[in-house]
Structure 1
Amino acid sequence: MYVAVKGGEAAIANAHRLLADRRRGDRSLPSITIEQIVAQLGLAVDRVMAEASLYDRAIAALAIRQSRGDMIEAIFILRAYRTTLPRFGYSVPVETSRMLVERRVSATYKDLPGGQLLGPTFDYTHRLLDPSLLRDEQVEEPLQRDGEQEPVMRVSDILAGEGLVEGDGELPAGHVPGDLTREPLEFPMARDLRLQALARGDEGFLLSLAYSTQRGYGNNHPFVGEVRMGEVEVELDLPELGFAVSLGRIQVTECQMITQFKGSVKSPPQFTRGYGLVFGQNERKAMSMSLVDRALRTDEFEEDVVSPAQDEEFVISHSDNVQATGFVEHLKLPHYVDFQAELDLMRRMRREHDERSREEPGDDTLEAAQ
C-alpha cells in the first residue's frame, strides 16, 4: 500500500552505512575508546546506567559510543541488551547506612557526625569555559584517598532520635516487591514499584516536575536532609548456604528530602520524607526523584491532588524516556493513507464552506440592500 517505500531495504542499509561513517568521524583523529568514555565521561555513563537499569560501565560506554552520544538512544540500546541477560535472583536490600561515602552534604545541619564532604562536584566551580582543556596535556598525579573510608550516620537518624521524622516504614507481611521490568504497570501503584519507575525515569522530565513543586504546583516546602554519594555492597541471598554472599560494590547516589507535615488524626506533627536512589554519581536525578516521590504520597497524608507532580498516573505514564521517544518518533513512520484520508476530509469541508458562503449573503450585501 505504501508505494513510496518500495526499495526501502537498500535505502535503510545505506543509511546504516552513513551512520557508521558519521560515527567514526575524521579518520585523521584517533578513534575514541570505551576506556576513555568510562574514565572521562563518567557522568554520562552513570546516567545511561541509571535510566537503563543496568550497572555495567563498559557496556554503557559502548552504548554511548554506538549512539554517537545520544543519551536516550544509548539508554534504549542498553535496555534492549538487558532483556537478553539471564536472571539469577534478587539481591537483598542495600544498606545505604553502611555506604562508604565519597560526597555528602546536608542543607539542614552545618555540623554533622562525619562532617560535610564536598567530594567531586561542580557546585562551587565558575561556569566558565576552561581553555586549558583544549590542550591535551598531562595532568597532575591522580589523587589518592586518605585512609579507609568509614560509614557515617544519616541525617534522618538524627531527627529520628527525637521522633521528629517519619520512620522508614515496614512492608506488609508477605509483601513481594514488584518488578516493573516483568509486570505491566497498574494504578494505583505500591511505593516500591513507583520508586522503581522514578529511578529509571527521564532525568529532564523529573527535574521539571521537581521544579514545579517548588514553584507552588504541589504541597512541598522541602529541605535537603542529605545527599550522599559513595559505594554500597550488593549481596545475594543463597538459600542453599543459608546466608547472603557479597557480589561486590557499586556506586550510588542517595537523597532524602524532608518536608514539614502538620499531622493528622493518625500521625503527630513531624517531618516526612521523599526518597531518591540512583546508580552512579547523579545528584540532580536523585534530588528530583525524591521531590517527586514526596509529591506523589498524597494518599498517605490525606492531601489533595492539585498539580501534575501529584498525579501518579500522569507522572509514571510519562516519565519513561524510551517509551516517550518511541511514541513521538513513530510519527516519522509512513502515515500516507491516514493523511490522504485527512486531506480528502479537509478538501470536502472547504468545498462545503465555500458553497455556504456563496449561498448566504454577507453583511456588506445586506447593508447595500437596505
Structure 2
Amino acid sequence: MYVAVKGGERAIGNAHEWLAEERRGDTTVAELTVPQIREQLKLAVNRVMAEGSLYDPDLAALAIKQARGDLIEAIFLIRAYRTTLPRFGASLPVETADMAVDRRVSATFKDLPGGQILGPTFDYTHRLIDFKLAAEGDVDPAPQAPAEGGPVPHVTGFLGRDGLIQDEPRSDATPPDLTREPLELPASRPLRLQAITRGDEGFILSLAYSTQRGYGRTHAFVGELRIGTVAVEMDIPELGFAIEIGEIELTECETVNQFTGSRTEPPQFTRGYGLVFGQSERKSIAMSLVDRALRWEELGEDYVGAPAQDQEFVLSHCDNIQATGFLEHIKLPHYVDFQAELELVRRLRAEAEAARNATADREAAE
C-alpha cells in the first residue's frame, strides 16, 4: 500500500509539471501578462470577482491565468484565497444613486432625467468576427461625454412617487453573511440575493430564461440598468465618522413586474433586483428576474411549481463551486465503493441465473 501511495505522489507531481507546461503553451509566443488579462479580458475578470466574492481585478486576472482560462477554476482559486484574508469590519451600504455612470438605459421610460447613456455595449454591434483585431493594431480613443455632477435618481423612484410600485423601506438590520455562515432554508431575501449574485451565471441565466417562457409568470421590464463606479465608505470608530476607502465598479438592474394586488395591497408594480461586481449586464438582469420569481410567497402569489420559484432548488444548486466539487469528485478513486457494487451485481446476477435454472428444471420436470 505504501508503494502505491509513493507512486501516486510521483504521478501527481508529474501531472503538476505537465499542467504548468500546458499553461505556458508555445514558448515562441509571448507570455500573457496579468495586466493584459485585466485590461483586455475585463468581462471575464468581472465574472471571477463577482462569483468569487472578492473585488480585486489584479488577483482575478492572475487566477484566470493560473486556471488557463477556466473561469470556474479561477473562481475557486479566488474563494480559497478569500478565506485567508483578515476581516477588519463592514462597509456602509453603497449609494448607487450617487454612481458615476458609464452606462444607463431604461426599457420603460424613453425620456428620463439624466438621459439614456448607451456606454460600452455589444447591443448595437454586428455579431460578425472582426478580423482586424488579429492585426493587433491600436484603437482610436472613444469620444468622451461631458461628465455631469450630482446624483442620478433611479427610474423606479418616479413610479414610487405615484404609488405605482411596491414600496421597499430600507432596513438598518445587518443582513446575514453567506460567506461566514452556512445557508439555511427558508432564506430571507438578503440571503437569497447573496447566493444568487455568487451563483453561476449560466445557471441563473437559464432560470431567468425559464421565467420569461412562462415557468413562473414573471413577465418583466427592465426599469433601469446602470453601470458605473460607486464609493465605498467605512465607519472608523476612532474617528467617529465614515471615510471613503475606495471605489468599485458595479452593475445594477431593477426590473418592473406586474402585480394584480392582494387583500392588503392595491394593483401595482413590484421589483426584481440584481447587483453584481463589474460590468455584468446579463448576470444582473438574470439575477433580478430570479429574485422576483422567488418573491412569490411574500407577495401572496400562487406557487405554480416553476423551478425558479423553488428557493431550495435555486439556492442549493446555483453555486458553481459546490456543483463542480460534487460533480468532479466522481473522477477520483472510488475503488472500494466500486468493488462493493461489483460484488453486489455479481451476486444478483448469480441469484437471477439460479432462479432461471430452477424455473427451467421445474418446467422440464412437469
Q: Structure 1 length normalisation: TM-score?
A: 0.94
Task: Show the counterpart of 2:312.
Answer: 313
Written as runs of structure 1 = structure 2, the 5 A alignment for 1:216-235 is: 216-235=214-233
Distance 1:357 1:73, change over 3 A: same
Q: How big is the alpha-carbon RMSD for the aligned residues of Structure 1 and Structure 2?
A: 2.1
1:104 equivalent in alignment to 2:104: yes
1:150 offset after TM fit, Å?
A: 4.4
Partners of 1:2 and 1:121 in 2: how far apart?
Answer: 58
2:274 pairs with one of 257, 272, 276: 276
- Give the paired residue count: 365
Partners of 1:127 and 1:289 in 2: how far apart?
Answer: 25
Task: Show the counterpart of 2:295.
Answer: 297
Task: Show the counterpart of 1:254.
Answer: 252
Partners of 1:143 and 1:329 in 2: how far apart?
Answer: 47
1:99 offset after TM fit, Å?
A: 1.0
The CA deviation string for residues 44-90 of structure 1, in whole angstroms up to 9 with x for no partner, is 00000000111110010000000000000000001111111111111
Tell me if structure 2 keeps the 8 A contact 1:101–1:150. no
1:355 offset after TM fit, Å?
A: 2.2
Q: Structure 2 length normalisation: TM-score?
A: 0.95
2:174 pairs with one of 162, 170, 176: 176
Partners of 1:201 and 1:150 in 2: how far apart?
Answer: 33
Q: Unpaired segments of 5 or more residues in structure 2?
A: none
Tell me if structure 2 keeps the 8 A contact 1:104–1:227. yes
* Range moving further from structure 2, 157-166 or 239-248: 239-248
The CA deviation string for residues 128-184 of structure 1, in whole angstroms up to 9 with x for no partner, is 11111111212224554533554322110110111100112243xx73311111111
Written as runs of structure 1 = structure 2, the 5 A alignment for 1:1-370 is: 6-141=6-141, 143-148=143-148, 150-171=150-171, 175-305=173-303, 306-361=305-360
Partners of 1:170 and 1:98 in 2: how far apart?
Answer: 17
Partners of 1:335 and 1:112 in 2: how far apart?
Answer: 61
Q: Unpaired segments of 5 or more residues in structure 1?
A: none
Tell me if structure 2 keeps the 8 A contact 1:234–1:248. yes
1:356 offset after TM fit, Å?
A: 2.1
1:265 offset after TM fit, Å?
A: 1.4
- Report sequence identity in percent: 63
Partners of 1:263 and 1:169 in 2: how far apart?
Answer: 18
Tell me if structure 2 keeps the 8 A contact 1:165–1:270. yes
Partners of 2:354 and 2:116 in 1: how far apart?
Answer: 77
Partners of 1:299 and 1:6 in 2: how far apart?
Answer: 56
Partners of 1:85 and 1:54 in 2: how far apart?
Answer: 10
Partners of 2:248 and 2:145 in 1: how far apart?
Answer: 17
Tell me if structure 2 keeps the 8 A contact 1:252–1:281. yes
1:301 offset after TM fit, Å?
A: 1.1
1:313 offset after TM fit, Å?
A: 1.2
Partners of 2:7 and 2:311 in 1: how far apart?
Answer: 45
